[in-house]
Amino acid sequence: DTAVSQTPKYLVTQMGNDKSIKCEQNLGHDTMYWYKQDSKKFLKIMFSYNNKELIINETVPNRFSPKSPDKAHLNLHINSLELGDSAVYFCASSPPLGQANPEAFFGQGTRLTVV
Amino acid sequence: AQSVTQPDIHITVSEGASLELRCNYSYGATPYLFWYVQSPGQGLQLLLKYFSGDTLVQGIKGFEAEFKRSQSSFNLRKPSVHWSDAAEYFCAVGAEAAGNKLTFGGGTRVLVKP
């Protein structure tokens, strides 16, 4: 029973297309995140939502739009894909802010390749 | 702002030898500290974490880490590595004041020689 699940696991698409990555967590967490891992394995946060409200937006291009329909889901929509968007995107969730042991649980990642 | 440095990009170790991975962080207060492991093509698995209390923390797969406030370090150790420990290791720092976002180090790739 997967705690944080992302779909799809692999995504190959052409430049200029629009694509979405979905994320769901069944841990009852209030906070969810999107991280990007580039080709050099460097991991950096993109967005964070707390109970469906955006709380972190790390200067990500506005072609990237997160959407949280409820606190168990955080989807990432990317418009007008560019070659530089090729990366592995990880979804994560953690307990509410202020709660002890705020450990983040990660999904398996979505490898996006833009050609 | 919080930051994490992992000085070693690659480490090669013989199977059965000990392993130590270095991690230095920068943050004004006591942060939350984590070590994650990523096997090729896989997601991130938490090895261990430090929030408060005992500065020597035990994790899964025989790993441990020690928080040293005076050195702003959180080094990861394993007494005897197995071939299955070959992976990428990431140190991360988080803080409630930063919305619990994690700031990761650049990672250390561990290669295990037979």
What integer pLDDT is reported at residue B110 of this predicted model? 98
The answer to whether residues A86 and A113 touch, using CB atoms and an 8 Å cutoff, is: yes
CB atoms within 10 A of CB B48: 18
What integer pLDDT is reported at residue B96 of this predicted model? 75
Of residues B96 and B9, the one with the higher pLDDT is: B9
What integer pLDDT is reported at residue A98 of this predicted model? 66
What integer pLDDT is reported at residue A23 of this predicted model? 97
CB-nearest to B107 from A35, A41, A48 is A41
Between the alpha carbon of residue B16 and those of residues A74, B9, B85, the distances in Å are 42, 21, 11
The model's pLDDT over A49-77, given as tens digits with 9 standing for 90+, comes to 988 888 888 878 999 999 999 989 999 99
The model's pLDDT over A8-27, given as tens digits with 9 standing for 90+, comes to 999 999 999 999 999 999 99
**Whole-angstrom Cα distance, residue A76 to residue A88?**
13
Find tokens 């990660």 and name the residue. Answer: A106
Q: What's the average model confidence in pLDDT over A24-51?
A: 92
What band does B42 get if pLDDT is binned at 50, 70 and 90? confident
Report CB contact under 8 Å: A101, B96.
no
What integer pLDDT is reported at residue B81 of this predicted model? 97
Report CB contact under 8 Å: A33, B101.
yes
In A, minimum Cα distance to B37 occurs at A106
